[in-house]
């Protein structure tokens, strides 16, 4: 008779209670022995961060280990008589208060959003005081990418201040959908964006745990060596530790449906940690990438309903200072799906309809099925396409953008996003100046898009400036300025300098509070993979990887060269030692090949 598998044996065995105390129950199932909390008691572990970004840790004597441990605050849930069914957040707050001077803000779903919203609001106020205080972000499509970005920022600059994460709907569609790569047309699963927000913050919290774990291991070693100076230095670093948690600006596209659908999805975003939600004024089921043709906008009342839906979601979850970015695609959108309903002359709907491309109609010549409106006492027929969409008058894009922005800020939006066809400070600044005649502190989020050919655009801007100033440009062909032949010319050098200072100059001259690149890590992944494939599969062979990747990681201090550490191996060893003491079977021993990278 074949021997019964062990897994099957214990699954079929009855669980037996061997012993039960007030707090712990010892159990046995087959050959397995284990413990659990008695009386349905649970535990709450607290990651407490104060207003200065300090992580609160406590030192407590642990009887099983016979020594003091530095650890996160934690306490039992529902362990006292009469407190069965206690809410974990109440138990966590009670534990903090028992430490003396600490009291938590509300700690329900959305606590990350609440924390990061305060950061973003403070940054917005700092920008209002001085435009040199603009902020930046890079688009990330995976938690690991976001984590590495923040680790790099802390390494190079010592602080994450003013640096955020951007979550692009384009990259979610292209890289995260179960359907495979999709265009930026809101066809991906709507919850894939909130899933990515949660994933990003999971990786950022792991970055905190990894860095703090390393500091505490070094602290233990310093204490054991009797090194008072290093002990003091490490304690100071722990006290001044800055979390990797930063604000995320999350792209909700056009809301993935009506206002109710927008509200429900916004709640998912906020629960996952987003303090800032970007929404655009395109038709949800006709949505296009902002840098492609065929964009269709909605009347203002429809868009404002979705802004209010996002605000409602923030308020319902207790995030009173959540940030809404209202994006207008009107500059490049020449179509609308519907004619706005006008209640009285001059209202917002009437202003929207005033941009429609119309022909005056003789009442005697009205055709069957014609759609008609009145304008200044005249009967007008808006131009309707076979797609049943209506056309705006050519040249009205900037005026529509300005109206979009003003109404959005007056109805709950905090920041604006104007999608442009080129990175031109004069064009952006011209629209912002018009906005600020009505709303003096209007601020933009601006897409420093990879869809722009930055080299060609700025070389052409310099060429045009030279020509306007009467400077000889006969040595240049404006249509071929991308050529490498121009790379060392005066024009190319000046264009590169304008690109270098673009964000600073646009912040000062065009009201741009936040500069982001939507798709940078999409392109860096493709470029680095191409470089590696060319070398590794070519004559260089293994040297292609060693010289182009690993050697660079070592010499540039890239933390991922110790990939076992980055994946959490050392964190796991710390846990094993805490759980099992000297009996722990740890991965980070003398035979771990990661030790080759210690130097």
| Catalytic sites, residue numbers | 289
**Helix, strand, coil fractions of the chain, as percent rounded to 5:** 45, 15, 35
Widest CA span in the chain: 101
Range 285-290, long-range pairs (CB < 8 A, 24+ positions) = 285/186, 286/337, 287/184, 287/185, 287/186, 287/253, 287/254, 288/184, 288/185, 289/170, 289/183, 289/184, 289/185, 289/451, 290/327, 290/329, 290/332, 290/419, 290/447
- By DSSP bridging, strand 390-391 and strand 74-77 are unpaired
3-class DSSP assignment, residue 153 = helix
Other Cβ atoms within 10 Å of 408 Cβ, number: 27
Beta-carbon contacts of residue 64 (< 8 Å; ≥ 6 apart): none
CA distances from 30 to 25, 286, 350 (A): 16, 60, 77
CA distances from 233 to 60, 224, 237, 238, 429 (A): 21, 15, 6, 9, 48
Phi then psi for 299, rounded to 5 degrees? -60, 155
- Alpha-carbon distance of 416 to 279, in angstroms, equals 10
| CB 524, CB 142: distance < 8 Å | no
- By DSSP bridging, strand 512-517 and strand 444-447 are parallel
- Give strand pairing partners of 165: 138, 248
The string over 493-518, giving b where at least 16 C-beta atoms fall within 10 Å of a residue's C-beta and e elsewhere, is ebbbebbeebbeebbbebbbbbbbbb
DSSP state of 295: -
- Alpha-carbon distance of 271 to 191, in angstroms, equals 12
CA distances from 570 to 200, 206, 209, 559, 560 (A): 21, 12, 10, 13, 13
Angle at 250 between CA 244 and CA 251, to 5 degrees: 155
Cα dihedral angle (182, 188, 194, 197), rounded to 10 degrees? 0
Phi then psi for 324, rounded to 5 degrees? -115, 125
3-class DSSP assignment, residue 78 = coil
Range 523-526, long-range pairs (CB < 8 A, 24+ positions) = 523/450
Beta-carbon contacts of residue 413 (< 8 Å; ≥ 6 apart): 307, 324, 325, 326
């Amino acid at each position: 008779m074949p021997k019964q598998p062990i897994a099957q044996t214990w699954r079929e065995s009855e669980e037996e209670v061997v012993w039960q105390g007030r707090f712990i129950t010892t159990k046995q199932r087959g050959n397995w022995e284990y413990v659990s909390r008695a009386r349905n008691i649970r535990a709450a572990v607290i990651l407490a961060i104060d207003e200065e970004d300090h992580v609160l840790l406590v030192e407590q004597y642990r009887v099983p280990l016979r020594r003091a441990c530095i650890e996160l605050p934690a306490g039992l849930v529902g362990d006292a008589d009469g407190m069965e069914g206690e809410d974990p957040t109440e138990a966590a707050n009670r534990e903090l208060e028992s430490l003396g001077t600490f009291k938590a803000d509300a700690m329900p779903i959305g606590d990350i959003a609440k924390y990061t919203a305060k950061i973003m609001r403070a940054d917005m106020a700092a920008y209002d005081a001085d435009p040199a205080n603009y902020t930046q972000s890079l688009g990330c499509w995976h938690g690991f990418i976001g984590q590495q970005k923040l680790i790099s920022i802390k390494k190079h600059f010592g602080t994450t201040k003013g640096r955020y994460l951007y979550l692009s709907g384009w990259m979610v569609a292209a890289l995260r959908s179960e359907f495979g790569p999709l265009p930026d047309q809101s066809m991906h699963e709507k919850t894939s964006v909130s899933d990515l927000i949660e994933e990003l913050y999971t990786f950022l919290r792991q970055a905190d745990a990894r860095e703090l774990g390393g500091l505490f291991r070094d602290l233990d070693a310093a204490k054991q060596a009797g090194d008072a100076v290093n002990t003091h230095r490490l304690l100071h670093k722990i006290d001044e530790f800055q979390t990797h948690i930063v604000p995320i600006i999350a792209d909700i596209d056009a809301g993935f449906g009506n206002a109710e659908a927008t509200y429900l999805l916004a709640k998912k975003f906020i629960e996952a940690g987003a303090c800032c939600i970007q929404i655009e004024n395109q038709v949800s089921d006709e949505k296009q990438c902002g840098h492609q043709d065929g964009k269709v906008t909605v009347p203002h009342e429809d868009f404002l309903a979705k802004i209010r839906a996002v605000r409602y979601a923030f308020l319902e979850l207790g995030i009173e200072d959540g940030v809404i970015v209202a994006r207008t695609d009107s500059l490049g959108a020449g179509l609308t799906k519907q004619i706005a309903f006008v209640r009285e002359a001059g209202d917002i709907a009437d202003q929207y309809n005033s941009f429609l491309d119309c022909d005056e109609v003789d009442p005697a010549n009205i055709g069957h099925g014609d759609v008609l409106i009145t304008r200044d006492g005249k009967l007008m027929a808006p131009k309707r396409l076979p797609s049943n969409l209506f056309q705006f008058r050519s040249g009205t894009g900037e005026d529509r953008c300005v109206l979009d922005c003003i109404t959005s800020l007056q109805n709950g939006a905090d920041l604006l996003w104007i999608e442009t066809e080129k990175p031109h400070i004069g064009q952006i600044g011209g629209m912002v100046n018009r906005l600020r005649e009505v709303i003096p502190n209007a601020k933009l989020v601006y897409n420093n898009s990879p869809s722009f050919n930055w080299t060609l655009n700025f070389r052409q801007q310099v060429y045009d400036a030279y020509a306007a100033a009467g400077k000889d440009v006969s040595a240049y062909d404006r249509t071929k300025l991308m050529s490498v032949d121009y790379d060392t010319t005066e024009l190319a050098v000046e264009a590169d300098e304008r690109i270098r200072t673009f964000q600073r100059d646009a912040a000062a001259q065009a009201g741009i509070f936040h500069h982001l690149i939507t798709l940078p890590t999409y392109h860096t992944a493709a470029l680095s993979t191409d470089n590696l494939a060319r070398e590794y599969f070519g004559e260089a062979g293994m040297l292609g990887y060693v010289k182009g990747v690993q050697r660079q990681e070592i010499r540039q201090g890239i933390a991922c060269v110790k990939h076992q550490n980055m994946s959490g191996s050392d964190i796991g060893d710390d846990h094993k030692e805490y759980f099992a003491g000297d009996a722990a079977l740890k991965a980070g021993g003398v035979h771990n090949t990661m030790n080759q990278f210690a130097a």
